């Protein structure tokens, strides 16, 4: 494959020259799209995740509509948790059938076989590639701390107090749980790469709830373990630890190719904090897409200006997932603005 025929997204994450900044959006397949809602009305959320045909279809929808530079497979970060033996439902957010708060609870968790127990994810990736072979598709998984937080709390939380109490009172058992999750996530990501995922992203959505010391103790070591394992599969790795700004220096040394940055930290500041070790991804506030198109244009230009400070590479994205009330025409305006104004980059 020649340099110009290699997709923009892949060149950007590898720090190679690009004609313009590539763009994809977290949760780009989802409730803001009427075509997604039509598919979703026919099944449950988990049913959609577990149907390769339907998951591939909703993964394709934003690419057909907006011609984004990368897709991300439609799934959920808690799919591996269910495969470990935890009952899972959505009402509307995730509700786990039991909590994990003791040695016995952790002992009861199995290490799933990703192909046997989560093969529907890999099947969906292959179906997408057959339909749209020229668009790179990302696989993904949750980071151990974020998954453990759901397992300990039994659902989402405003402050993750029960999770932190578990970390402080039972640090040995916490590390056993996190190690088990690191192995599960590693296997799941490698299977996605083997199915054809061009890159993978690790989501540590609740990292910002931890102090710097707790993040470096209970979260980052297990993310590093996953990166070390998955690197051998050969695909670029993106780590998005939302809110973990105080640890960006350490994160930039975790072995990932790209770090995602949320909207609260300017990209030029992030480039300085990471000492230009990695490419950066982000970081428009998702709420900007709820406002007027003129402001979307201004905010895109601001971020592209900040991104000029990045030496390694830049992938345009939101600072977190797109919000369900987002008008699709505003998403179209975002993609158009990035494609018109995206920076040529020659590292």
The per-residue pLDDT for range 72-115, each reduced to its tens digit, is: 999 999 999 999 999 999 988 899 999 999 999 999 999 999 99
Predicted pLDDT at 3:
54
Residue 1, domain CATH: 3.20.20.210
Mean pLDDT in residue range 160-179: 98
Are residues 189 and 242 located together in one domain of the fold?
Answer: no
Q: What is the pLDDT of residues 49-63, one digit of tens each?
A: 999 999 999 999 999
Length of the chain, in residues: 347
Look at residue 286 and tell me whether its pLDDT is greater than 70: yes
Residue 203 is assigned to a structural domain of this protein: no
DSSP 8-state secondary structure symbol assigned to residue 203: E
Look at residue 345 and tell me whether its pLDDT is greater than 80: no
Predicted pLDDT at 249:
98
Cβ–Cβ < 8 Å for 211, 174 = no
The residues carrying an active-site annotation are 27, 31, 40, 76, 150
Are residues 24 and 75 located together in one domain of the fold?
Answer: no
Mean pLDDT in residue range 183-188: 98
Look at residue 43 and tell me whether its pLDDT is greater than 80: yes
Domain that holds residue 252: 1-28+236-347
Q: Count Cβ neighbours within 10 Å for each residue of 79-100 and write b for 16 or more, e otherwise.
A: bbbbbbebebeeeeebebeebb
Cβ–Cβ < 8 Å for 325, 32 = yes
Are residues 21 and 112 located together in one domain of the fold?
Answer: no
Residues 6+ apart with CB under 8 A from 320: 26, 205, 242, 262, 263, 286
Mean pLDDT in residue range 228-251: 97
Alpha-carbon 34 to chain mean position = 23
Predicted pLDDT at 347:
60
Q: What phi, psi does 71 have (nearest 5°)?
A: -110, 160
Q: Is residue 292 exposed (0-12), middle (13-18) or buried (19+ Cβ within 10 Å)?
A: exposed
Predicted pLDDT at 91:
83
Are residues 166 and 247 located together in one domain of the fold?
Answer: no
Are residues 19 and 77 located together in one domain of the fold?
Answer: no
Are residues 50 and 24 located together in one domain of the fold?
Answer: no
Q: Within a 10 A sphere around the Cβ of 317, how many other Cβ atoms? A: 28
Are residues 56 and 186 located together in one domain of the fold?
Answer: yes
Are residues 57 and 77 located together in one domain of the fold?
Answer: yes
Residue 274 is assigned to a structural domain of this protein: yes
Cβ–Cβ < 8 Å for 284, 24 = no
Cβ–Cβ < 8 Å for 87, 96 = yes
Residue 100 is assigned to a structural domain of this protein: yes
Longest alpha-carbon distance in the chain: 56
Are residues 14 and 152 located together in one domain of the fold?
Answer: no
Are residues 168 and 50 located together in one domain of the fold?
Answer: yes
One-character DSSP codes across 227-294: HHHHHTT---EEEEETT-GGGHHHHTTSS-SEEE--TTS-HHHHHHHTTT-SEEE--B-GGGGGS-HH
Tokens representing 200? Answer: 């993978």
Question: Residue 150: in which H helix or E strand, if any?
Answer: helix 144-153
Q: Is residue 249 exposed (0-12), middle (13-18) or buried (19+ Cβ within 10 Å)?
A: exposed
Predicted pLDDT at 343:
78
% of the chain residues with pLDDT over 70: 98
The structural domain count of the chain equals 2
Quickly state the pLDDT bin for 4 (edges 50, 70, 90): low
Quickly state the pLDDT bin for 212 (edges 50, 70, 90): very high
Residue 183 is assigned to a structural domain of this protein: yes
Smallest CA-to-CA distance from 283 within 25, 67, 69 is with 25
Beta strands (DSSP E) in the chain are 71-72, 88-90, 94-96, 137-142, 199-204, 237-241, 258-260, 279-281, 314-315
Residue 137 is assigned to a structural domain of this protein: yes
In the chain, count of helices (H) and strands (E)? 16, 9
Q: If you compute the radius of gyration of the chain from its CA atoms, what whole number of angstroms results?
A: 19
Smallest CA-to-CA distance from 321 within 263, 280, 268, 279 is with 263
Q: What angle do CA 257, 260, 263 make, to 5 degrees?
A: 155
Residue 300 is assigned to a structural domain of this protein: yes
Look at residue 1 and tell me whether its pLDDT is greater than 70: no
Beta strands (DSSP E) in 122-175 are 137-142
Tokens representing 345? Answer: 């980059």
Q: What phi, psi does 280 have (nearest 5°)?
A: -120, 150
Compute the mean pLDDT over every residue in the chain, rounded to the nearest whole number. 96
ω before 283 within 30° of 0 (cis)?
A: yes
Residue 208 is assigned to a structural domain of this protein: no
Strands 88-90, 94-96: pairing is: antiparallel
Residue 123 is assigned to a structural domain of this protein: yes
Look at residue 285 and tell me whether its pLDDT is greater than 60: yes
Are residues 78 and 142 located together in one domain of the fold?
Answer: yes
Are residues 322 and 266 located together in one domain of the fold?
Answer: yes
Mean pLDDT in residue range 135-140: 98
């Amino acid at each position: 494959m020649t340099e110009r025929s290699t997709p923009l997204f892949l060149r950007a994450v590898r720090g190679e020259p690009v004609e313009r900044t590539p763009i994809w959006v977290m949760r780009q397949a989802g409730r803001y799209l009427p075509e997604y809602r039509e598919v979703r009305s026919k099944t449950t959320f988990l049913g959609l995740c577990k149907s390769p045909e339907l998951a591939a279809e909703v993964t394709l929808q934003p690419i057909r509509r907006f011609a984004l530079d990368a897709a991300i497979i439609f799934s959920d970060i808690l799919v591996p948790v269910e495969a470990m033996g935890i009952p899972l439902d959505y009402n509307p957010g995730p509700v786990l059938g039991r909590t994990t708060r003791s040695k016995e609870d952790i002992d009861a968790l199995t290490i799933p076989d990703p192909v046997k127990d989560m093969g529907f994810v890999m099947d969906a990736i292959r179906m997408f590639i057959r339909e749209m072979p020229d668009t790179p598709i990302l696989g993904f998984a949750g980071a151990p701390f974020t998954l453990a937080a759901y397992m300990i709390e039994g659902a989402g939380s405003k402050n993750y107090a029960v999770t932190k109490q578990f970390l402080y009172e039972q640090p040995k058992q916490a590390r056993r749980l996190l190690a088990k999750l690191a192995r599960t996530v590693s296997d799941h990501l490698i299977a996605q790469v083997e199915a054809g995922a061009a890159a993978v992203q690790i989501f540590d959505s609740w990292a910002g709830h931890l102090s710097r010391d707790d993040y470096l103790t209970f979260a980052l070591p297990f993310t590093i373990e996953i990166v070390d394992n998955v690197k051998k599969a050969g695909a670029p790795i993106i780590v998005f630890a939302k809110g973990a700004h105080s640890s960006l220096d350490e994160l930039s040394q975790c072995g990932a190719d790209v770090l995602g940055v949320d909207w609260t930290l300017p990209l030029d500041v992030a480039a300085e904090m990471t000492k230009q070790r990695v490419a950066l991804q982000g970081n428009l506030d998702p709420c900007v897409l709820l406002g007027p198109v003129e402001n979307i244009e201004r905010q895109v230009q601001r971020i592209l200006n900040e991104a000029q400070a990045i030496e390694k590479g830049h992938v345009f994205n939101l600072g977190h997932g797109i919000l369900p009330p987002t008008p699709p025409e505003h998403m179209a305006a975002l993609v158009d603005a990035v494609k018109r104004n995206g920076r040529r980059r020659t590292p």
